[in-house]
Amino acid sequence: MKVRPSASGQGVIEEILPRTSVLYRSDAARQKLIAANVTQLVIVVAAVPSFSEEMVNHCIAAAEQQKLKVLLVCNKADLIEPSRHAFSTLALYRELGYPVLQLSAKNDSVPLLPHLHGHLSILIGQSGMGKSTLVNALVPAAERATADISVALDTGRHTTTHAKLYYLDDDSGLIDSPGMQEFGLYHLNVEELAWGFIEFRPYIGQCRFNNCRHGCEPGCALTQAMREGKISGRRVTFYQKLLQAGTAGSPP
Ligand code: GDP
Ligand code: ZN
């Protein structure tokens, strides 16, 4: 959907664009579409309060499934000592090819701008990570430049979330979805979740059993790759946690 903000602070729908991606929020009870046609997921973490690495993995897997670019923002760089620790935790993700941008939203959020150019990005992160600070810094006239995003429930009913779309320029938009901490992965099966872990891909389909859940099964190619140090045990642990949380499996 192409929306032009109008003077009154509302938006005018100019064009319905074909959907290239869809993001869902879901829990055991329901799935809810959050935004369509997003091209980039910006995961905001910070040194303080400590962030959940499980949530980071969850979001990356959801992004990979939708073929979205992932950007990790490590906020509160001004808190030097704690940031060092957070940044080193993120080294694993840098090695996997996900860019990690360290900044201080409080002092200077400008380094984020080039990463947002040409994208419709969605900001995600646990509360307290600095998302609002970031949005306010990037979009000084936030209140006037926003448009509520209408989203469709998978039931076909229409509703409005509190998500806001901010225009940065003609080619770039930023969606802030307060309160949203992770995307639902209920629509992913075991293999699709594994696909969301990019370094697992060469091993998918290589296990002895074709219904392998990559746990204690004999002949598991993934476990073998982990033993050989080809993939990180931390990532396998997070994959298992997501599986066990019932995140992947049959849709509710
Ligand atoms: P949100 O819940 O993700 O929207 O986080 P907020 O933007 O409300 O920020 C949470 C807290 O972190 C607030 O007290 C902010 O002032 C603080 N904060 C945000 N950015 C920074 C930063 O770059 N450095 C420091 N030291 N604090 C920050
Ligand atoms: Zn396996």
Provide the CATH number for the domain around residue 126. Answer: 3.40.50.300
Nearest atom in ligand 1 to the alpha carbon of residue 135 is: 7
Instruction: Report if residue 195 sits inside a domain.
Output: yes
Task: Name the residue of 133, 136, 180 whose CB sits within 8 Å of the most ligand 1 atoms, as the mutation to test its pocket.
Answer: 133
Q: Could you say which of 176, 199, 234 is where a domain stops?
A: 176
Specify whether the CB–CB gap between 137 and 190 falls below 8 A: no
Residue nearest to atom 5 of ligand 1 (CA): 130
Closest CA to 61 of 234, 244, 239: 239
Residue in this structure with the two tokens 């039931």, named with its chain if needed = 155
Taking the C-alpha atoms of residue 189 and residue 207, their distance in angstroms, rounded to an integer, is 16
Per-residue pLDDT reduced to its tens digit, 122-167? 998 888 899 888 998 998 765 533 344 444 333 333 333 467 888 8
Taking the C-alpha atoms of residue 177 and residue 20, their distance in angstroms, rounded to an integer, is 19
Nearest atom in ligand 1 to the alpha carbon of residue 126 is: 3
Do 135 and 74 fall within a single domain?
Answer: yes
Residue-number span of the structural domain to which 211 is assigned: 190-244
Per-residue pLDDT reduced to its tens digit, 190-236? 788 899 999 999 999 999 999 899 998 999 999 999 999 999 999 99
Do 56 and 163 fall within a single domain?
Answer: yes
Residue nearest to atom 22 of ligand 1 (CA): 76
Ligand 2 centroid from CA 223, angstroms: 7
Return the bridge partners of 102, or none: 74
Ligand 2 centroid from CA 199, angstroms: 14
Residue in this structure with the two tokens 């950007």, named with its chain if needed = 71
Taking the CA of 222 as reference, the closest ligand is 2
Do 165 and 212 fall within a single domain?
Answer: no
